[in-house]
Chains A and B, each alone.
Chain A
Amino acid sequence: MNFPIHIFLIIPFIGLIVSFLIPSKKEILISRLAFYTAGITLLVFIGFIITWLIQGHPSINIAEVVLYRTHGYEFVVDLFFDKISAVYLMVGGMLTFLITIYSRYYLHREKGYKRFFSTILLFYLGYNTTVLSGNFETLFMGWELLGISSFLLIAFYRERYLPVRNAVKVFTIYRIGDVGILLAMWASHHLWHENITFAKLYNYDLVHEHLQNHSLIGVIISLGLLVAAAAKSAQLPFSSWLPRAMEGPTSSSAIFYGSLSVHFGVFLLLRTFPFWEQQTSVRILIGLLGLSTAIVTTLIARVQSSIKSQIAYASIGQIGIIFIEVAAGFETLALIHFAGNAFLRTYQLLVSPSVVSYLIKEQFYNFVPRHKHIEDSLPKKIEYSLYILSMKEFNLDHVMNVWIFYPMKFIGKKLNFITLKNVFYFFIPVYVLGMVMLHWEDLIPKSIHNVLPTIFSFIGLAMVLKSFSERRSPQLAWLLLVMNHFWVALAISHNEHFDAEHISLYLSGIVTCGILGFYALSRLKRLEPSYFDLNKYYGHAYEYPLLAFVFLLASLGLMGFPISPTFIGEDLIFSHIREDQYFLAFFNSLAFIMGGIAIIRMYARLFLGPHIKTYHETPYQSS
């Protein structure tokens, strides 16, 4: 069947671009645009799905939309459509459509009306991209769009502290999950020696043959995917982010964190199922993860006394079961379960404010002082311990801090010796030395030359970590991030011989965004010299929304936002890391991930949060 399924990407994309052009005062125009974008996409999709079903629902693969091609490398957008995509597109299309109508009234007169709808469209684009992706590269594109739109939606109330802090937190966890995909992508490059399409994964023999020869790399890929799926679907140990993501308007929390966003881990597993189907140990692992998540989060859900966190944990519990279903190979059941859970949680969240009048009235008529519970039959000591443990969310939030944030801060602190001064006096000369060595690399002993890429990429990573923990100078933090990419380029240049065009493509994006971002920072420093560091949130977006937007664009560019030159460059650079270079791959992906986190942290601290100036009303820190 010949159907341009690109259309499901193109309509939201056009909608998104047009939404930027509408002045933010024009509420009706904005909501209409969103309504038509979602509505038309849905209509076309329904028409499409009918013909598709009549034709016996074949799997469709549309390959080779080459976004970028150079000597020895091409970036291919590949689309794939099958039963899984059909269900996800249907549920996503319907919910997004309903929510655009819902939000038209719900957000009426809200500051940030336009921002909300633009972000919804961005999310929708990311959603469809991911769902329709035919290879890892395309999937990763969608994945990144989801990440950033989630950040923007959680931080929708950007003038308050908690939404911004939680948005950074959720973004970080998403990003950590992304390491999994990056590594899986890198490993699969080497497993297949090509940009493998999902369609090809359905070829049992092909998968079987490759896996037999490279069982370790197969496990690495599967684990990478599992980490990514667990992070996105709030499975253990990541679960605690989901209730904390409920900071935006209820309608957006309902569809994103109640339903669509949170089921993407399931999607990733379903999509790659043919790949890990043959790895029994992986299947057992996924099932166990789902089971333990289901049990733990149900216990937590039982003691939640706020309505949204209760729904959030209950939803995670169901997703845990879906993980089991997927692992067991019950694809259809998992899809039904996904759709039902998505609708149920969306609706429950949307009507959650009504719970007050409803339950109070219920109570008025049917009040029973204390209910009997299963826990009551346990020995007191166990009952109480379980209660405290559940109330503390099994320390999951703390675990995240201890495992992720503390080590990053710790290493960053150890790097305090990096200052603007010794960047100039030490690192730049070293860099020049590296370039010189590149020129006369034949003169360098082979054993030394072999470790150079790893060393250089490690220096790059160090710069990122320092940037992450930098508190004084935003400009230094920014420069360090830019420099990281130069180190990466140097490392790769020492690694393999390839076209200079690759490097120039990669660095051209970096340099442009670097200059733009640096300009925005310098301007902010000139305007607000006394409120310019990374010690706390300053909320400058209140006074300089445009500057905030410019800096956000530069940030997206620098962090390798999909189809920016940096993004393609990153992918390209990864393809030059050899199969046995685990450290190089690891440092590189870590630097990529951490760089993104450091940038978002910078953006959040400078431009978001409670405004430092108090001439207007400002919220409490605890709100």
Chain B
Amino acid sequence: MPHKHNNFNEKEVLHHIKHFLPSQAPLKDFIHHNTLHAYQNLPFHQALHKASTLFGYKVYLQLDEYRQLYQDGQIKDSILTRTITEQKGIKELNVWKARALNDPYNSNLPSRVGSFRNQWKALYKVNLDKKTHPIIFRLLNNYLDQGISIKEFPLVQHGFLSSIKEIERNSYVSLFKSERARMLFLKGKLDIESLLKIVVGDSEYFEQYLFDQQFAHIGWSGMVSFLEDNQGALLDQREIKLSDLIIFELLLEIDVLDSAYGENWRPLGLSVTDNPNPLFKTVEYSEFFDVLSLWQEAYEWSYYNDVLTGIKENTKRKSIEEATEFHALFCIDDRECSIRRHIESLSKGAKTYGTPGFFNVEFYFQPEHSKSHTKVCPAPLNPGYLILEKENTQKRTKAAHFTKHAHSLLFGWLISQTLGFWSGLKLFFNIFSPRISPATSYSFRHMDRQAKLSIEYTGEKIDGLQVGFSVQEMATRMEGLYKSIGLVDIQSPIVYFVGHGASSINNTHYAGYDCGACSGRPGSVNARVAAFMSNHKEVREILKSKGINISEDTQFVGALHDTTRDEIEYFDIENLNGAQQQAHKTHHAIFLNALDLNAKERSRKFILTNTNDLPKTVHDKVKLRSVRLFEPRPELNHATNALCIVGRRDITKGLFLDRRAFLNSYDHRIDHDGASLLNILKAVAPVCGGINLEYYFSRTDNNKLGAGSKLPHNVMGLIGVANGTDGDLRTGLPHQMIEVHDPLRLMVVVECPEEKLLDVVKRVPQTYEWFENEWIHLVSFDSNTGNYKRFKKGEFIRLDLINTEIKMSRDMMKEFEKTDLNLPVMLLEEQSA
């Protein structure tokens, strides 16, 4: 969209800037999202080219990296050939192949943003950022601080700008060095336009100047913009607007220029001799980016082709139907992909399912003694329910070392001579024999398993939220859950709802490790609530009337899987009867065994852990990762994710996907009107797509779109991290989370007739964009014929697989010991009895 302003429209310009700023929540609510969400209205490659030209982001791997992948065989020649042929035509094949493989390109590209405002340096020899940033960052951080500083910001009630104004007015010490800026601040008409007239002069450049200015510190600008739009995002609420920040920054710029030149300087827009390159000028075609996009496609399809071939061959295999021993429902999370495989390999009668880990029950959770509640369902939902924890038996322990008294003069004097030596010991013990401590963020601590939950509605309401669910409301949720995963006949003695969470210490991004479907919290409460609902007699009756059969001998059990420590905890097992207890014992042994195997599988990417040991030994070492202060990678989270498979487990059971797939159970034969599929896709696009693209861009440009190495990070006001003391907030994911990630877009494979899928996809406008513009690849799979179709430009087109051989593997444990790199798609050989 071309933006040409002769008259400055403040509202429009602010809106425009906010659109492009990162929108990342404060640390406590880390939620994955597409880093380049602002460009989603454009086709993927076009968007990337634009983002790169405007803001200098790296959006692909480097050309040499692609070429190396090609040399290594990870990008297949046949796929590259096909990609070029499809896009450029067979005639041009040789030309483009030569370009891709050999031609030199100048990749030393400038970015447009900043070029205009940088002229201050050339014209006036002042480095504005160096002077203004420290004071702005400090003010913002002190104002928004959620609890680090001892003496809080003296005044916060009136909003950012007014509070500062009040303080400035009543202080002997000024924030400014020169008189004009101070007077403008205290007495003048404070609007962006009149300040820009002083600083920039020519209204044609106003917007560009503001972009340059705000994109010099996108971390803080993004945070301010996010807080403006999400009033409740902070526990200790603050009112702030992006326009406040801009006004204050412009004043400081005037201040800096005034104190260097008096008032004898001309506005930048009137001083520049050659016209600046407009930021939003059309991006011209670039052969270099064209080549990169070809490589990226070839890279992705080289992998997808294996996956699709694998699924097809796997579906063809006939497996022997075993009687169901137990059911287990897991989150769709890619980290649960492997544990399901291990459980199935250990117990032929285990049937596992994948569904978003909030188990279709949306509510806020309030632990006992807490002052507020927290959302435990997908972020976009706004539930009207509250679940209270009661009779908590856990004790919350405090960590003396976080006491702020240590920072005061006299207490500090005492503390440093007493606690000081104690710290030395603590450090010693943490290094040689680490344990879970109050500083650990521990998933099992989210809810006390001994405590009671108020799940059934008894007429109570708190803050406009209904406490608990009525029977009918429970039934509706359970019906939706079972129908969406295609589980409508349950005869086994136990069904497990396994939520998941993570544990870590010294991890500022801890919220990003828990369940994404529970707003970055562990899924324990949801699993327990869902189990309660399904166990409810009246609920079961309603379910029966809806065609969902549950045997009277079936009991549902909530559980939590800690993905970092590979531990499991069950809730309310005292409700099991004798036979069920017995069965549970057997299942528990299987779970434990599977967890060991899972730890061993995970350990192959932890280079400092010896994978070759026995699973149990490896597991013990893996557990340590969650409690060691010096472990920047407690687990690898969603790294390497690339797939989302929506369909029956039958098509993927026995297929090795290396923890790279989100698995959502779905049976199109039950879902006649596509309602379930609609809900699944509505969640898959933003949740899985968001995770995938955040990993993608944090990997391709860890400096500008990611948070860089976490080792030098400094916690700012409990809301974000920065490098050192003077740095801007860092957005995106730290290097330690993405270093082993391959930047591939998500491919969603749906086992469903294409007509139905097409119909469903078109019904949801907000997610349609993701598929239409290929931010996510969408493929339909017909399990009867084994045919795939690919969604392109609004329709499903033929997708032919290129012949490739899928390896059979007898013993995966041996494979895990071989390499720390990604393993290929493999078919697991069934061990015949």
A residues adjacent to B (C-beta < 8 A) = 94, 98, 101-110, 156-157, 160, 162-163, 166, 243-244, 246-251, 253, 294-295, 298, 301-314, 317-318, 321, 336-337, 339-348, 350-367, 369-371, 373, 375, 380-385, 387-392, 397, 613-623
Contact = CB atoms under 8 A, between A and B. Distances in A.
Interface of B: 27-28, 56, 58, 62, 107-111, 129, 133-135, 138-139, 141-142, 145-154, 167-168, 170-175, 216-219, 235-236, 367, 369-372, 374, 396, 398-399, 401-402, 406-409, 412-413, 415-421, 423-424, 426-428, 431, 438-441, 505-508, 510, 607-608, 628-633, 700-704, 708-718, 722-728, 730, 736, 739
A356 B28 contact: yes
Nearest to A379: B170
Nearest to B107: A615
Contact of B236 (A109, A336, A363): A363
A353 B402 contact: no
Contacts of B508: 353, 356
Contacts of B147: 359-360, 362-363
Contacts of B402: 351, 354-355, 358-359
Contacts of B730: 623
Contact of B399 (A156, A248, A358): A358
Nearest to B439: A354
Given A314-B406, A359-B146, A391-B142, 16 more contacts: A106-B711, A157-B712, A162-B727, A251-B711, A306-B716, A310-B149, A351-B505, A355-B148, A358-B399, A359-B402, A363-B371, A365-B371, A385-B172, A388-B175, A615-B62, A619-B708
B727 A98 contact: no
A353 B506 contact: yes
Contacts of B629: 102, 350-351, 354
A343 B421 contact: yes
Contacts of A356: 27-28, 508, 510, 715, 718
Chain A interface, >50% SS class: helix
A367 B431 contact: no
B712 A351 contact: no
B235 A364 contact: yes
Nearest to A295: B409
Chain B interface, >50% SS class: loop
Q: Which 8 pairs show the lowest CB-CB distances between chains A and B? A: A340-B420, A347-B423, A314-B407, A343-B424, A344-B420, A249-B711, A305-B145, A615-B107
Among B149, B167, B724, which residue has the most Cβ atoms of chain A within 10 A? Answer: B724
Among B109, B419, B703, which residue has the most Cβ atoms of chain A within 10 A? Answer: B703
A371 B711 contact: no
Contacts of B407: 298, 301-302, 310-311, 313-314, 317
B148 A166 contact: no
Contacts of A317: 407, 409, 412
Given A105-B630, A307-B715, A365 B217 contact: no
Nearest to A314: B407
B138 A391 contact: yes
13 contacts: A108-B632, A160-B708, A310-B149, A310-B407, A318-B412, A343-B421, A344-B406, A352-B715, A375-B151, A388-B171, A617-B702, A622-B133, A623-B727
Given A298-B408, A355-B402, A387-B167, A305 B148 contact: yes
A366 B372 CA distance: 10
B431 A392 contact: no
Contacts of A620: 216-218, 703-704, 728
Contacts of B168: 388
B152 A370 contact: yes
Contacts of A343: 420-421, 423-424, 427
Among A101, A364, A371, A380, which residue has the most Cβ atoms of chain B within 10 A? Answer: A364
B148 A347 contact: no
Contact of B608 (A105, A243, A302, A363): A105
Contacts of A382: 172
Contact of A351 (B150, B217, B506, B736): B506
Contacts of B148: 304-307, 310, 355, 359
Given A614-B56, A619-B704, A353 B715 contact: yes
Contact of B728 (A247, A616, A623): A623
A346 B142 CA distance: 24
Nearest to A156: B712
A622 B222 CA distance: 14
Contacts of A616: 58, 62
Nearest to A111: B709
A90 B409 CA distance: 26
A366 B371 contact: yes
Contacts of B175: 388, 392
B507 to A, nearest CB: 6
A507 to B, nearest CB: 38
Given A108-B607, A250-B712, A357 B141 contact: no
B257 to A, nearest CB: 17
A305 B109 contact: no
Contacts of A347: 401, 423-424, 426-427
A12 to B, nearest CB: 21
A251 B630 contact: yes
Nearest to A101: B431
B723 A623 contact: yes
Nearest to A394: B173
Contacts of A339: 420-421
Contacts of A391: 138-139, 142
B169 to A, nearest CB: 9
Nearest to B140: A305
Contacts of B431: 98, 101-102
Among B370, B630, B717, B718, which residue has the most Cβ atoms of chain A within 10 A? Answer: B630
A348 B172 contact: no
B676 to A, nearest CB: 35
A491 to B, nearest CB: 35
Contact of B415 (A109, A344, A353, A367): A344
Nearest to B172: A385
A250 B711 contact: yes
A248 B712 contact: yes
Contacts of A303: 142, 149-151
B675 to A, nearest CB: 37
B442 to A, nearest CB: 9
B51 to A, nearest CB: 13
A381 B139 CA distance: 18
A344 B416 contact: yes
Contact of A308 (B154, B216, B424, B725): B725
A306 B717 contact: yes
Contacts of B154: 375, 383-384, 387
A346 B236 contact: no
A361 B109 CA distance: 45
A371 B185 CA distance: 29
Among A340, A354, A358, which residue has the most Cβ atoms of chain B within 10 A? Answer: A354
A336 B608 CA distance: 38
A358 to B, nearest CB: 5
B141 A306 contact: yes
Contacts of B28: 356, 360
Contacts of B428: 98
A303 to B, nearest CB: 5
A384 B152 contact: no
Nearest to A159: B703
Nearest to A250: B711
Contacts of B711: 106-107, 110, 248-251
A226 to B, nearest CB: 22
A301 B725 CA distance: 13
Nearest to B404: A310
A181 to B, nearest CB: 27
A388 B725 contact: no
A343 B430 CA distance: 14
Contacts of B108: 613-615
A391 B396 CA distance: 34
A351 B406 CA distance: 14
Contacts of A385: 171-173
